[in-house]
Amino acid sequence: MPLLTMPSDPPVDVPGVLARLDALQDIAEQHPPRYGEDGLACFNYLYREITTEVWEQIQKNEFRSREFITRLDVEFAKRYFAAVLPRTDGRPVPESWQVLLERRSEPEINRFQFAVAGVNAHVDFDLAFALLSTCRALGRPFGEDERADYNRINQIFASHMRALRRHFEDWWMRVLDGGLLALAADEGGELAVIVARDAAWNRAKRLAGLTGRDFDVESAEIDHRTAIVGRVLLEVPLL
């Protein structure tokens, strides 16, 4: 991978996250044999679109706490970059991310499957840990204001759901797209994101009460369960 264009230091703010997502998009789209339809490129595109909207709303002061949502965005992204970029510290790639990375080149998997599998790994595995590290770093509780800002991301997903889904559809899928079929896909996708993010919030609160071996065992179990779902998502066409 041409990693010279990828900043080597972790991001410290949302513009830094976006710069790294842009660089990673260029890198992933050069990955043969699928190039622009590469599995990692598909998820990274979706992630970049959502993060761009988050940054725009931060700038408009749409969140209750700019500090909280900015730190959460950065912590979330740091886990993603640590998982998908080559490692030099000897730590293994999380099982939940291996599912996507190992199959990113397979021709029979459609782009939407790749994108959803990436959302599964990032939300079902990474999000709880990013939320936990954010609250601890800022000395913030899992409180009402934090939850309100956290839930606002659901609205951003919902507002982009149809456009993102259509971006990943093949031409014949667009011909069939419309009416109740499109509504079901959009509403179902929105609901799935809300449920997954709600579970991640509760998971982070549970992890906050664990230490040592108990924390490590629970982390490994979350990773493994997420990987199982990811394999199903890549096996069963969603469109």
For the stretch 45-95, pLDDT in tens is 999 999 999 999 999 999 999 999 999 999 999 999 999 987 777 789 999
- CA geometry: angle 69, 207, 20, nearest 5 deg: 40
What local confidence, expressed as pLDDT, does residue 181 receive?
A: 40
- The tens digit of pLDDT for each residue in 197-217 reads 999 999 999 999 999 999 999
Cβ neighbors of 51 (< 8 A, separation 6 or more) are: 14, 17, 18, 21, 73, 77
Residue 196 pLDDT level (bands cut at 50, 70, 90): very high
- The predicted model gives 101-108 an average pLDDT of 96
Could you list the residue range(s) of the whole structural domain that residue 103 is in? 3-235
* Residue 2 preceded by cis peptide, ω within 30: no
- Distance between CA 176 and CA 182 in Å, rounded? 9
Q: Does the pLDDT value for residue 193 go beyond 50?
A: yes
- Residue pair 118/42 in contact (Cβ under 8 Å)? The answer is yes
Q: How many domains does the chain have?
A: 1
What local confidence, expressed as pLDDT, does residue 8 receive?
A: 76
State what percent of residues in the chain have pLDDT above 90.
73
Cβ neighbors of 80 (< 8 A, separation 6 or more) are: 47, 122, 126
0.85 surpassed by pTM: yes
Tokens read off for 119: 């959302």
Judged by DSSP in three states, 70 sits in helix
Which range among 96-105, 177-186, 195-204 shows the weakest confidence by mean pLDDT? 177-186
Q: How many helices (H) and strands (E) would you count in the chain?
A: 10, 0
- The tens digit of pLDDT for each residue in 128-171 reads 999 999 999 999 999 999 999 999 998 888 777 777 767 776 54
What local confidence, expressed as pLDDT, does residue 50 receive?
A: 94
Residue 104 exposed, middle or buried by CB count within 10 Å (0-12, 13-18, 19+): buried
